[in-house]
Structure 1
Amino acid sequence: MIKYPTTRIVFDRKKTATQSKTGLVQVEIMFERKRKYISSGVKVFKGQWNERGGVCNRIDMLALNSRINAVKEKVDGYIRSLIEKNVAFDWKGFGRYISFSDKDTISFVEWLEERINSRTDIRETTRRVHRKLIYAMHDFRKISFFGDLTKANVMAFDDYLHARGQRQTTVYSYHKMLKTYIYDAQCAEIC
């Protein structure tokens, strides 16, 4: 009889999360006493995780839980396809599958760029102003995935903009644009 791996969602396996420091949510794949961890891209604080329900106590918890479940479902789908074909699991084949499928995942900055370019309700001059947010995010580098959109990171982004010599009115404009797109991402995920 052919054996197949088991999967589960693991929060903060390195035990570094606190009330002020985030921990990573990963999908664990275990097969023949060997484990591999796949990042979901979601990082939350210790008080924002419930073993039974996933991410909790956050405004964007539905979107983050959906992201975590999508990563787990991708891994489980691969394993199910092997079971259906009656093919044995091996780590090498799984590594090829993951490296190929990682190209399909999209970061927040990539999503932001696509969203700004696809908007039909703004003029081209406004679009150019909104693209400045993309350039600032690329330079900032602390917000990559949707899970990186925490209060601490947004405040660090604020400090980063001030350090670049931006006036408070300009910083406010960046925050206003960022808030618009965060709300847009939440509505796209929930609605």
Structure 2
Amino acid sequence: MLKENVTVIFDRKKQVEKRGSGKVELRIYLGRTERKYISLGDFPAEKWEKFASSPQVKAERRKCEQIVGAMELLGNEMTIATFDAYYYGAEQRPTFISSPKKIAPTKYKVKVQPSINLIEYMKEHIEAEDISEGTRKHKQCTLDALKRFGKIQKLTDLTSNNLVAFDEWLHDGTRSDVGIHTYHKHLKKYSHLLYIEGKIGVDPYTQVKFKRGECKEREPLTEAELQKLRKIQLDEKLDKVRDLFVFSAYTGLAYCDVQAFDFEKMTEQQGKLYYIDGSRIKTASKFFTPILGPAMEVLKKYKFVLPKISNQKANDFLHLIETALKLNKPLTFHVARHSFATLALAHDIPIENVSRMLGHKNIRTTQIYAKVLKTTIERHAENLQRAIR
């Protein structure tokens, strides 16, 4: 269980027995060792809990949580001095920080002026942030959606009512719930940043919550379907896309990593197998995965230089292949990665190893990718039955 950054405590210095009352304080955790205490007043033991649940204490606690969150978000030093600069500046809004030299709000510099509109503010930050190009593109999608929505352009437009209207606009049937949550996640970051910088008086995301929704489960290809895909006769264009899909399905690489694959620079041989040792373009996380037989056949076919094709075209052609195969499931390039994860689990590779092969930062993501097949459960159940006789 994660530790809360801000907690309400009573009588830290054990004064109740001596004085009949003790201090109610907020304890703020700043890193592993730093602690900041803010006194909220003296109360008898029988009254402090009621005070601790009062609206004013909740508001004070929420303010401190936002400051700690902003410090983490902006990469500030987690020290009492840094917290105090934010906290005591916050008492005098809208001029949150009296001097920009006290705390650098970001690790990068932007040309944003306090009077600039929200679209320009976000654009400047997105261009300046030290993030992967994939993340930058996703944030640009959020910015483009805001432009099309049209009702949140200026800082004064950033209200809880407009956020609800934006959410309703996003739910037009063309986006998944998880995708919509990503739009909110991006906008929420800049809303929170504006609040911390004192450019808006209230962070509207503290006044409204949006459900994340559930991921739609992608159907991976079974081993039999992968065999069928490998054997089907296709024309030249579809053949190349099929080969790229097969390479992904037997290495676990995502589309962008397949397109960036360099055999000479990214592989090493261990025993009879070659392995790809690289970093994911999307997340920069490391992965180490084998080049299984069908993937090696693809490499040899193209003399170890894979064909190049856009993601959109690849998916368009995969839909044609889906029809040719008479599959009862959508076929997209990302299904190949899911198929690899499911195939690996079906052959008893531990999920921790599958996670490393895919370059996931946590196993929860791998659990979404990999589907445990009924046949795997049945086989393990039979083994268990034999073991307990």
Bucket of the pairwise TM-score, normalised by the shorter protein: 0.3 to 0.5
Scaled by the length of structure 2, the TM-score of the pair is: 0.22
**Higher helix share goes to which structure?**
1
Higher strand share: 1
Greater RCO (CA < 8 Å, at least 6 residues apart): 1
Find the structure with the greater CA-based Rg: 2
